[in-house]
């Protein structure tokens, strides 16, 4: 948690889409700890109301707003409320997003394709389009994309396409806003333990994933850099736990020992044969290489 001295974002106004759970909620919590005023949005008001109460701190304001980012009217209304209650936005976190079941292009229903594109790509555009007039020099836009914005996963065509498209939007935005002094960060997390996996891969090994708090922590480090510097793209991926590395090292050590013993046995065998008399032909090793020639024992 940020201390009074380190609250460098104190008094900043942050709008977070998809703040009801997962990565959006973790980012909202981290921004609250830094002393930001918060606008928290998700489709259902009830899902952000409680969170707004939890995150309210002395001296900061927290406003829950229902907004389906696929709906241009709802997004317009969000911008109106924001302007009326806060007058500006310093940090916009475009985080709301959905995945879809693992289905090949041939099997993916058109309505799922449309829903994913409408949320992850068009929704990001709509919110940015409406909120941008409320942003001024020194503010920041963060688009939560995914590693699927730069590589593809078979069975996730709509998700991959939406995130690739959103990266194009993000990169364009950065160049358009650079002269205006507005930073644009592309956040590209790898597998993170959130509810999104229930749609994509219900039995995914969650223990191997990052926590949403880790992603939020990395983003906070980028947001806390001086305003004249931008982390343009922030990729963060899970890495194996140190314990797992030790296990792997142990496993590879014992494999090396077994290989060494096998080599030793082959050498002994060859030495016995050579001492018994010259060989007739070159002998291929089990690995397909030549271990020795008949006249050159190893
Ligand atoms: N988890 C991962 O492994 C991972 C990795 C890379 C990137 N991401 C990205 O991170 C973002 C957050 O995902 P998450 O993993 O935290 O998933 P999550 O736990 O399912 O959260 C998704 C959030 O988006 C909101 N949302 C969904 N559709 C919406 C809509 N039409 N309008 C407004 N809000 C909407 C949800 O709220 P309601 O349902 O209440 O509306 C919820 O708050 C997504 O963009 C996702 O693509 C996730």
Residue 95 domain-assigned (yes or no): yes
CATH number (domain holding residue 36):
3.40.50.720
Q: CA 73, CA 159: separation in Å to the nearest integer? A: 24
pTM: 0.84
Q: What is the pLDDT, as a whole number, of residue 171? A: 98
Please calculate the CA angle 33-231-144 and round it to the nearest 5 degrees. Answer: 65
**Is 77 exposed, middle or buried, given 0-12, 13-18 or 19+ CB atoms closer than 10 A?**
middle
- Residue for token pair 């013993």: 261
Reported as a single tens digit per residue, the pLDDT across 28-84 is 999 999 999 999 999 999 999 999 999 987 788 999 999 999 999 999 999 999 999
Separation of 138 CA from ligand 1 center, angstroms?
A: 27
Q: Are 75 and 127 in contact (CB under 8 A)?
A: yes
| Residue in 167, 35, 36 with CA at minimum distance from that of residue 91 | 36
Judgement on whether residues 153 and 285 belong to the same structural domain of the protein? no
Residues 6+ apart with CB under 8 A from 123: 17, 69, 70, 75, 94, 96
Mutate-to-test residue for ligand 1 from 19, 22, 146, highest number of ligand atoms within 8 A of CB: 22
Of the three residues 236, 257, 279, the one that is the final residue of a domain is 236
Q: What is the pLDDT, as a whole number, of residue 247? A: 64
Q: Are 97 and 122 in contact (CB under 8 A)?
A: no
Judgement on whether residues 263 and 203 belong to the same structural domain of the protein? no
Residue 242 domain-assigned (yes or no): no
| Residue in 213, 150, 147, 145 with CA at minimum distance from that of residue 185 | 145
Cβ neighbours of 137 (radius 10 Å): 9
The answer to whether 110 is a known catalytic residue is no
Q: What is the pLDDT, as a whole number, of residue 49? A: 96
Q: CA 240, CA 41: separation in Å to the nearest integer? A: 34
Residue 272 domain-assigned (yes or no): yes
Of the three residues 216, 236, 256, the one that is the final residue of a domain is 236
Of the three residues 236, 256, 284, the one that is the final residue of a domain is 236
Judgement on whether residues 194 and 264 belong to the same structural domain of the protein? no
Judgement on whether residues 138 and 87 belong to the same structural domain of the protein? yes
Judgement on whether residues 116 and 140 belong to the same structural domain of the protein? yes
Q: How many domains does the chain have?
A: 2
- Residue for token pair 């309505």: 111
Judgement on whether residues 167 and 22 belong to the same structural domain of the protein? yes
Residues lower than pLDDT 50 in the chain: 276-298
Judgement on whether residues 178 and 254 belong to the same structural domain of the protein? no
Judgement on whether residues 155 and 286 belong to the same structural domain of the protein? no
| Residue in 58, 59, 21, 55 with CA at minimum distance from that of residue 38 | 55
Q: What is the pLDDT, as a whole number, of residue 291? A: 27
Cβ neighbours of 273 (radius 10 Å): 15
Residue 88 domain-assigned (yes or no): yes
Judgement on whether residues 125 and 58 belong to the same structural domain of the protein? yes
Judgement on whether residues 19 and 150 belong to the same structural domain of the protein? yes
The beta-strand segments (E) located in 32-98 are 37-42, 62-66, 91-94
Residue 218 domain-assigned (yes or no): yes
Q: Is 235 helix (H, G, I), strand (E, B) or coil?
A: strand
Judgement on whether residues 206 and 283 belong to the same structural domain of the protein? no
Judgement on whether residues 136 and 51 belong to the same structural domain of the protein? yes
Q: Tell me, using a 6 A CB cutoff, whether residue 146 lines ligand 1.
A: yes
Q: Tell me, using a 6 A CB cutoff, whether residue 128 lines ligand 1.
A: no
Q: Tell me, using a 6 A CB cutoff, whether residue 219 lines ligand 1.
A: no
> First-to-last CA distance in the chain?
64
Q: What is the pLDDT, as a whole number, of residue 14? A: 98
Mutate-to-test residue for ligand 1 from 119, 194, 209, 236, highest number of ligand atoms within 8 A of CB: 194
- Residue for token pair 């797992």: 244
Residue 14 structural domain? 4-236
Ligand 1 atom 44, closest CA: 97
Instruction: Select which of 86, 113, 159, 197 is catalytic.
Output: 159
Residue 241 domain-assigned (yes or no): no
């Amino acid at each position: 948690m940020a201390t009074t001295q380190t609250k460098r974002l104190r008094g900043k106004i942050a709008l977070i889409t998809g703040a009801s759970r997962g990565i959006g909620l973790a980012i909202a919590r981290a921004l609250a700890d830094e002393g930001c005023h918060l606008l928290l949005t998700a489709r259902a008001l009830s899902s952000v109301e409680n969170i707004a109460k939890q995150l309210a701190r002395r001296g900061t304001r927290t406003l829950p707003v229902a907004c389906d980012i696929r709906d241009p009217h709802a997004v317009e209304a969000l911008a109106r409320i924001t302007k009326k209650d806060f007058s500006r936005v310093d940090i916009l976190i475009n985080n709301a997003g959905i995945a879809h079941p693992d289905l090949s292009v041939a099997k993916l229903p058109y309505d799922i394709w449309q829903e994913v594109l409408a949320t992850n790509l068009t929704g990001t555009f709509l919110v940015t389009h409406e909120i941008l007039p409320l942003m001024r020099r020194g503010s920041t836009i963060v688009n939560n994309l995914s590693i699927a914005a730069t590589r593809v996963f078979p069975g996730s065509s709509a998700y991959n396409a939406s995130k690739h498209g959103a990266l194009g939007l993000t990169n364009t935005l950065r160049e358009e806003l650079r002269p205006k002094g507005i930073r644009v960060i592309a956040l590209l997390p790898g597998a993170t333990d959130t509810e999104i996996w229930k749609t994509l891969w219900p039995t995914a090994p969650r223990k191997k994933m990052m926590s949403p708090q880790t992603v939020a922590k990395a983003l906070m480090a980028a947001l806390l850099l001086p305003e004249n510097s931008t982390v343009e793209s922030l990729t963060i991926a899970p890495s194996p736990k140190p314990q797992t590395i030790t296990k792997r090292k142990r496993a590879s050590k014992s494999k090396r020992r077994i290989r060494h013993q096998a080599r030793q046995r082959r050498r002994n065998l060859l030495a016995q044969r050579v001492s018994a008399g010259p060989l007739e032909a070159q002998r291929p090793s089990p690995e397909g290489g030549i271990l020795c020639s008949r006249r050159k024992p190893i």
